[in-house]
Structure 1
Amino acid sequence: MTARIYQPARNAMQSGQSKTEWLLEHSPASARAIDPLMGWTSAADTQAQVKLRFESKEAAIAYAAANGIAYQLVEPKPRAHNLRKGGYGENFATNRRGAWTH
């Protein structure tokens, strides 16, 4: 059973780049089964429910190596920064020449 080490994407309410965490998530060993009476899905493997959080990628790799866990490292895609000359205050400038768009 292998684990995946990755950095999850930020949600829409988080715009900063600091305090990003890394996750170690085990892949499921078997497929889920459907209970015929209730229709619930169940799995015999409880490791797939475990997500371990780490401060850095190196800490996650060291944990996997120390515990003999085979892992797959997924590097995050770098984000392009949108920096404006005037910053956020540029939206509300009194000397604005262009049309008001919002």
Structure 2
Amino acid sequence: MAARIYQTPKNAMQSGKARTHRWVLEFEPAERKRPDPLMGWAGSGDTREQVKLSFPSAEAAKAYADREGIACHVVAAPERTLKLQAYADNFR
């Protein structure tokens, strides 16, 4: 039973940074998805894939995983780079 801990990224559809401070513990899939013969939807018998636990910090998530005996790895958030430019640059 493996899991990964990551920080939620900024929503690409909005400029705000709400809920980007949370850390999420998410279980990795134990089996691959297969199509349902009747409806064609992709699914599997692994119900842990539906569980997402949120924590205020990476240390809290790691402490929870250690306490429950869950093997986990922390995925660091990529560094954000800002492209600073003036409005006048659009008309050059």
The residue number in structure 2 matching 1:33 is: 34
Map 1:70-89; keep pairs closer than 5 Å: 70-80=71-81
Q: Which runs of 5 or more residues in structure 1 are unaligned?
A: 84-90, 92-97
Q: Aligned pair in 2 of structure 1 residues 100, 58: CA closer, same or farther (>3 Å)?
A: closer
Count of residue correspondences: 90
Q: Aligned pair in 2 of structure 1 residues 18, 34: CA closer, same or farther (>3 Å)?
A: closer
TM-score scaled by structure 2?
0.78
1:42 positional shift:
2.0
- RMSD between aligned residues: 2.7
TM-score scaled by structure 1?
0.71
The residue number in structure 2 matching 1:86 is: none
Using the aligned pairs only, state the percent identity.
44
Q: Which runs of 5 or more residues in structure 2 are unaligned?
A: none
Q: Aligned pair in 2 of structure 1 residues 99, 42: CA closer, same or farther (>3 Å)?
A: closer
Give the number of the structure whose alpha-carbon radius of gyration is greater.
Answer: 1
> Which deviations, in whole Å up to 9, do the C-alpha atoms of 1:19-65 show, x marking residues without a partner?
61000000010111212122122210100111100000100000000
The residue number in structure 1 matching 2:10 is: 10
Which letter maps to 2:47?
T
